[in-house]
Amino acid sequence: MDAATQTVLLTANQIAGGVSRLAAEIRRDYAEDAPLHLVAVLTGGWIFLADLARALALPVTIDFVDASSYGANQHSSGIIRLRHALRLPVQNRDVLLVEDIVDTGATLAWLLNHVRAGRPRSLRTVALLDKPSRRAVDTPLDYVGFTIPDRFVVGYGLDHDEQFRHLPYVAALDVRPRSAGGQTPGDGQPS
């Protein structure tokens, strides 16, 4: 793997506080008698979904969709790939689409259209992280945990080439490619 350095942007405590705040905002908008249908975007959104579902203290149903434009890259390709479709119908349900991060907005816009085709009663979005400086597609965000700068981030479910998801915090990741001799330029080793 390439050498990487991390700069913590959000600590585990900050994230927990943000999730609690989001849950309170969402609870104010939904009735306590009808289940809220949470749809998490895999793979990055599952940790956020788990914490949010517990913090909501509302009846919920849960489903997952896997759509991405990143692959192993740090930048969106712009091509959305659906790798796992919804298994439960959304018709006549109050649906909350749970995103880990909204960057260009292309994946979220595609997912909103995809879910709308199922005719939910209502459809809203929640994103743990919002990176508005990279927005290429105007997409509505009903609830936002944190607005972050234009940095590639990992941790709390977010990855770089399937690594770093386990971190309890969110960190900016700077990756430097290794040279042909296996050393990382600028790491104090001869290159």
Per the annotation, the verdict on 138 as an active-site residue is no
- Diameter of the chain by CA atoms? 65
CA distance 19 to 155: 15
Q: Which of 51, 103, 130, 159 is catalytic?
A: 103
Active-site residue list = 103
